[in-house]
């Protein structure tokens, strides 16, 4: 096989690595923040009927405007959002890519607060933009003042705020988001991929949409909806933003089958989301129990937690892997991330962590055990 170096690759893509979370046949996969529960039987039956109805029409291109799906997404979001304000694509990664294609692009900048979702710099690079990774306050928080200062300094064309943040779990206050918006010259995306897992009473940035035409809230059916394999992400914003992405989207980008699958699932959103509370319980259990083993756990509003106090994250990752448990080393010094699974999966993870800590005490940092 020819090597990448021998191909006439774009100069700005040389030397960068693709997204590569491992997909391995292990006993317990708690590394990419998936929902551990399968699609309920009743919903699956309904979705099959929806897809079956779309099949004879597959000789024709699908509805380019996916009107029915946008209507249902708007209803699901509430907050008085209309279907004209909603847009969807094959996963929120594609939503973000379309937004960056139209509002960033060559010679422009995309900014976020590190550490954050690893795809942001890759998508930015893919559209020819420069990624700016600003710094957070202690414990990965971002105060309104920190946000305002960094945005005012860098003046990014696109600002992307992940809340709750992957991989740290940190949620941003509406004050921080509003302060960042006021300081930003361009589009501000709040990636709420994990919003449904936030604690009761914590508001969504959807509340900030009225009167903020440069604000975009991105969501996905991959996490709380247990629909990662269906590939459906979406955003809510001023209707003009949805109009703008029409300039770059490929015609008919959402297949009739995708539209039918997503629309069918949305008819049963209550059932699809039924396990969210169980997952939140396991998340809270992880926070409590990992701390009891002498690690420091960051507060999480998501379906995963990040903990620190690991002397050698790579070695500890390998110890879990040897036990057929896949967790995530995001390359943050001293830290590992784990997704809240079923009760049994969470138990298996906690038992393994206790065992590893006991058998390989050198993998836990000295400060952590003090």
Binding site for ligand PMP (CB under 6 A): 33, 91-93, 117, 162, 166, 191, 193, 220, 222, 228, 233
**ω before 308 within 30° of 0 (cis)?**
no
**ω before 306 within 30° of 0 (cis)?**
no
Is there a contact between 52 and 246 (Cβ–Cβ < 8 Å)?
no
| C-alpha count within 13 angstroms, C-beta hemisphere, residue 269 | 14
Q: Which is nearer to ligand PMP, 21 or 55 (CB)?
A: 21
| Whole-angstrom distance, CA of residue 160 vs CA of residue 214 | 12
DSSP annotation of 309: -
125, burial (CB in 10 Å: exposed 0-12, middle 13-18, buried 19+): middle
| Whole-angstrom distance, CA of residue 129 vs CA of residue 112 | 13
The CB-of-99 to ligand PMP minimum distance in angstroms stands at: 12
Q: Which is nearer to ligand PMP, 9 or 250 (CB)?
A: 250
| 42: CB partners within 8 A, 6+ apart | 268, 271
Q: Which is nearer to ligand PMP, 35 or 92 (CB)?
A: 92
The CB-of-100 to ligand PMP minimum distance in angstroms stands at: 13
Q: Which is nearer to ligand PMP, 162 or 184 (CB)?
A: 162
The CB-of-19 to ligand PMP minimum distance in angstroms stands at: 9
The CB-of-226 to ligand PMP minimum distance in angstroms stands at: 12
Q: Which is nearer to ligand PMP, 303 or 357 (CB)?
A: 303
Which residue's beta carbon is nearest to the bound ligand PMP? 91
The CB-of-290 to ligand PMP minimum distance in angstroms stands at: 20
């Amino acid at each position: 096989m020819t090597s990448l170096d021998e191909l006439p690759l774009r100069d700005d893509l040389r030397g960068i690595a693709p997204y590569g979370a491992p997909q391995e046949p292990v006993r317990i996969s708690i590394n990419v923040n998936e929902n551990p529960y399968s699609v309920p039987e009743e919903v699956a039956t309904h979705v099959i009927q929806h897809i079956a109805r779309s099949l004879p029409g597959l000789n024709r291109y699908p509805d380019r405007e996916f009107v029915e799906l946008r209507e249902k997404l708007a209803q699901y979001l509430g907050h008085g959002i209309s279907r004209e304000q909603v847009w969807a694509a094959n996963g929120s990664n594609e939503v973000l890519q379309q937004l960056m294609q139209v509002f960033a692009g060559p010679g422009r900048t995309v900014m976020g607060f590190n550490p954050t979702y690893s795809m942001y710099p890759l998508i930015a690079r893919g559209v020819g933009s420069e990624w700016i990774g600003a710094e957070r306050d202690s414990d990965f928080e971002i105060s309104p003042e920190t946000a305002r200062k960094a945005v005012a300094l860098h003046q990014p064309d696109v600002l992307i705020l992940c809340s709750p943040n992957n991989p740290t779990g940190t949620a941003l206050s509406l004050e921080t988001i509003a302060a960042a918006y006021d300081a930003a010259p361009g589009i501000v995306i709040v990636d709420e991929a994990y919003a449904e897992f936030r604690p009761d009473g914590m508001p969504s940035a959807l509340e900030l949409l009225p009167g903020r035409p440069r604000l975009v809230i991105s969501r996905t059916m991959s996490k709380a909806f247990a629909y990662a394999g269906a590939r459906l992400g979406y955003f809510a914003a001023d209707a003009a933003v949805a109009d703008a992405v029409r300039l770059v989207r490929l015609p008919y980008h959402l297949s009739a089958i995708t539209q039918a699958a997503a629309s069918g699932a949305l008819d049963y959103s209550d059932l699809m989301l039924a396990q969210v509370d169980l997952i939140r319980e396991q998340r809270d259990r992880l926070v409590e129990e990992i701390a009891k083993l002498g690690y420091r756990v960051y507060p999480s509003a998501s379906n995963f937690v990040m903990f620190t106090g690991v002397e050698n994250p790579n070695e500890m990752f390998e110890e879990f892997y040897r036990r057929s448990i896949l967790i995530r080393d995001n390359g943050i010094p001293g830290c590992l991330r784990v997704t809240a699974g079923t009760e049994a999966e969470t138990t298996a993870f906690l038992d393994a962590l206790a065992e590893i800590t006991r058998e390989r005490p050198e993998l836990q940092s000295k400060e952590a055990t003090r």
